[in-house]
Amino acid sequence: MLLLYDETLRDALSYYENLPPLKTKTGKKSWAKRKGHNLALRLQKFRADVLRFWYDPQCPFTNNLAERDLRMMKVHRSGCFILSP
């Protein structure tokens, strides 16, 4: 499984590195990368964090519970939290 992850990232990075560079509206070459290239670089850089659920059974696959907790706190802070009588 982990070898497939690494192989897929290698394929993605080689694909994006072989594409011509992006150009700006003015026609000059840009240092910016495509969204997919940025994602592949980030997945490679944070490999251990992305696959942490694989090694640590205590770690949840997603962080939806934490996001829901924060969302309710933000709704309450914005004044949109309505209490029923």
Of residues 85 and 58, more confidence is placed in 58
Domain count of the chain?
1
Residue 83 inside a domain? The answer is: no
- Quote the mean pLDDT of the chain: 77
Domain that holds residue 30: 2-77
Residue 49 inside a domain? The answer is: yes
Phi, psi of 27, deg, nearest 5: 95, -5
Q: pLDDT by residue (tens digit) across 11-43?
A: 999 999 999 887 767 766 667 788 999 999 999
pLDDT higher than threshold 80 for residue 82: no
CA distances from residue 71 to 6, 8, 49, 59, 82 in whole angstroms, order as listed: 34, 34, 23, 21, 15
Residue 82 inside a domain? The answer is: no
Residue 85 inside a domain? The answer is: no
